Amino acid sequence: MRDGGRIAAAKAVLDDFWSRRVPLKVALADWGRGARYAGSKDRAFVSGLCLDALRRWRSLRGEESVRIALRLTLEVEWGWTAERVAAAFGDAPHGPGALEDDEQAAVPLGMPDVPAWCLPLLERAGNAAAEVAALSARAPVDLRVNTLKATSEQAAKACATIGAQPAPIVAAALRVPAPPAAERAPAVTVIPAYGRGWVEVQDEGSQIAGLCAGQVAGAQVLDLCAGGGGKTLELAALMENKGQIFAYDADPRRLAPIHERLRRAGVRNVQVRSPAAGEGLDDLEGRMDLVLVDAPCSGSGTWRRRPDTKWRLTEAQLAERIAEQDQVLAQAAHYVKPGGVLLYVTCSVFREENDDRIDAFLAGYPAFERESAAAAIPADKLTAAGRQRLSQLESDGALRLSPANSGTDGFTITRLRRAP
């Protein structure tokens, strides 16, 4: 496809996204089905352009005009010259139509690139201007080395072909820097090291959240919101396949990929319990050394990777997530043994989904008490600089990771100990 055709396609996808408010990947897939002529490079261009436009939608004037947002994305983010952009727009019959004078003259606005109703929440979370800017940037691809199958040296060597470098905080983690705008990130899932189960794609912040489980080899662990198993796999490696993990999720469809992932990663200490098979958790009551609640949340910490989700989030949805968080915390409490730990994790930076939920929980469950999450991480799992950094990121009883303060996705981690 010619550039003009690709830009016109991005406009059609964004128009569809805004009119239906579906996930961007749905709008892209629907366009792709009708565009059999589009090759993989065309699809990557269209999706990359849509994502970059949505990352800075308000400051690139998307609320005013999709065409202006696309023009500014290409010029400001992708570094195209004004002449190249104008030629592509006006390339009849492929392009989206020649730019008008007012479209040519539009300059970016100094607007925060989040929905207006989220601003007070981010202000309460602190450092709002820097966080909003960091949440609107591209993210690197982080890899977790699966120590059940490879050493960090083996994995680092095998992933050098895709530009992976040591990540700054987690000792064995690898990071593929975000590619320059207009370039594609390397396809991690096609490299042999991925096929062999040596590495998993997992943001460094998510890896840190899992490490807050602490010294768990040989322990009895319930991963109550296991979903596709990202943290289950990490816990199994941390436990060196010793002890037992029960992986559960209220939504059996979310659990579906876990079986294949466990197999590929060489995990042997996980029992999947699915409500679809009528498998409950009653026998685990009061028996778990650790219950991980990787809670359903707004995902505000992941807006770098999924910028469409910030524009789709509504206040009603946030209220629903908050109700689910209260429910799942209360549920989790019953499985923690006396002296055991409840680890509460969200990929949200909002205090409303973290501190407020924990305060509400502790009011009803006074046997639990906050303890340091960063201090629980086994020392050898962090780089020296990472250990120091994390010790500075704990405040009001939670470890707070974010693109601006730790260079990771936003995660808030609270460790609660049940009295013996």
Ligand X SMILES: C[S@@+](CC[C@H](N)C(=O)[O-])C[C@H]1O[C@@H](n2cnc3c(N)ncnc32)[C@H](O)[C@@H]1O
Closest to ligand X by CB, 60 vs 343, is 343
Q: Which of 5-13, 192-200, 247-255, 362-370 is the region at the interface with ligand X (rule: CB under 6 A)?
A: 247-255
Whether 347 is catalytic is yes
For residue 302, the SS3 value is helix
Token pair of 375 as six digits: 């201090």
Shortest approach of ligand X to residue 345 CB, angstroms?
Answer: 8
Tell me how far CA of residue 48 lies from CA of 16, 20, 32, 179, 246, in angstroms.
16, 20, 14, 11, 38
H or E element: which one contains 263?
helix 258-264
Closest to ligand X by CB, 287 vs 334, is 334
Shortest approach of ligand X to residue 185 CB, angstroms?
Answer: 20
Phi-psi region of 278 (alpha: psi -120 to 50; beta: other; left: phi over 0): left
CA angle 48, 227, 389 (to 5 degrees): 70
Residue 30 among known ligand-binding residues: no
Tell me how far CA of residue 221 lies from CA of 238, 244, 245, 343, 397, in angstroms.
12, 6, 5, 11, 22
Q: Indicate which single residue of 122, 132, 225, 374 sits in contact with ligand X (rule: CB under 6 A).
A: 225
Q: Indicate which single residue of 214, 296, 397, 410 sits in contact with ligand X (rule: CB under 6 A).
A: 296
Q: Using the rule CB under 6 A, is 224 a contact of ligand X?
A: yes
Query: For 227-295, where are the E strands, in sequence order?
Result: 244-248, 270-273, 288-294
Closest to ligand X by CB, 8 vs 233, is 233
- Contact at 8 Å (CB) between 243 and 220? yes
Q: Name the residue among 43, 39, 41, 4 with its Cα closest to residue 27.
A: 43
Q: Indicate which single residue of 230, 301, 397, 407 sits in contact with ligand X (rule: CB under 6 A).
A: 230
Q: How far apart are CA 255 and CA 267, in angstroms?
A: 16
Shortest approach of ligand X to residue 396 CB, angstroms?
Answer: 22
Closest to ligand X by CB, 327 vs 391, is 327
Residue 294 among known ligand-binding residues: yes
Q: Classify strands 336-346 and 288-294 as parallel, antiparallel or unpaired.
A: parallel
Token pair of 118 as six digits: 């989220």
Q: Using the rule CB under 6 A, is 204 a contact of ligand X?
A: no
Peptide bond into 93 cis (omega under 30): yes
Number of residues that bind ligand X (CB under 6 A): 18
Q: Which residues contact 62 (CB under 8 A, 6 or more apart)?
A: 14, 53, 54, 68, 69
Q: Using the rule CB under 6 A, is 250 a contact of ligand X?
A: yes
Residues recorded for the chain: 420
DSSP string computed for 173-190: -EEEPPPPTTSPPP-GGG
Q: Indicate which single residue of 197, 214, 227, 397 sits in contact with ligand X (rule: CB under 6 A).
A: 227
Q: Using the rule CB under 6 A, is 327 a contact of ligand X?
A: yes
Q: Indicate which single residue of 228, 243, 266, 378 sits in contact with ligand X (rule: CB under 6 A).
A: 228
Q: Which of 22-30, 60-68, 248-256, 261-269 is the region at the interface with ligand X (rule: CB under 6 A)?
A: 248-256
Shortest approach of ligand X to residue 66 CB, angstroms?
Answer: 31
Q: Residue 117 — φ and ψ, nearest 5°?
A: -70, -20
Q: Using the rule CB under 6 A, is 328 a contact of ligand X?
A: yes
Shortest approach of ligand X to residue 84 CB, angstroms?
Answer: 41
- Among the listed residues 159, 212, 225, 347, the single catalytic one is 347
The residue number with the shortest CB distance to ligand X is: 230
Closest to ligand X by CB, 50 vs 345, is 345
Shortest approach of ligand X to residue 78 CB, angstroms?
Answer: 32
Q: Which of 159-167, 320-328, 379-387, 408-416 is the region at the interface with ligand X (rule: CB under 6 A)?
A: 320-328
Q: Indicate which single residue of 240, 251, 315, 359 sits in contact with ligand X (rule: CB under 6 A).
A: 251
Query: Residue holding tokens 């509504």?
Result: 314
- Contact at 8 Å (CB) between 346 and 326? no
Q: Which residues are catalytic?
A: 347
Residues annotated within a binding site for S-adenosyl-L-methionine? 249, 294
Question: Where does this chain bind ligand X (CB under 6 A)?
Answer: 224-231, 249-251, 254, 294, 296, 324, 327-328, 331
